[in-house]
Amino acid sequence: MDATRLEVEALRLEPQARAGLAERLFESPVTETNADLKRLWVEEALARDEELESGDVEAIPADQVHRHIVDSQG
């Protein structure tokens, strides 16, 4: 079964079953090696730094982010 067909079938599951499946998939072993994961994180960090330096994105102080999260839950 290809990934597209699997996705279609998974989306037909009841919400609780989908959530359980998503959790199991998320926690399943990753095939990348530690070196691969490190390389991917470094690439992501460099891309984010480039976005900040170019002005494409604006940094938000952590305390503002935390306040927003707390306020949106209340």
Least confident of 31-35, 53-57, 68-72: 31-35
**pLDDT score at 50:** 95
Alpha helices in 1-74 (DSSP H): 3-11, 15-27, 34-54, 62-73
pLDDT mean over 28-34: 78
- Orientation of helix 3-11 relative to helix 15-27, angle to 10°: 140
For range 39-48, the mean pLDDT: 94
User: What are the sequence ranges of the domains in the chain?
Assistant: 3-58
Q: Quick one: pLDDT band at residue 54, thresholds 50, 70, 90? A: very high
Mean pLDDT of 24-37: 82
Residue 54: C-alpha distances to residues 5, 37, 40, 46, 49 (Å): 40, 26, 21, 12, 9
Closest C-alpha to 22, from 13, 35, 30, 33: 13
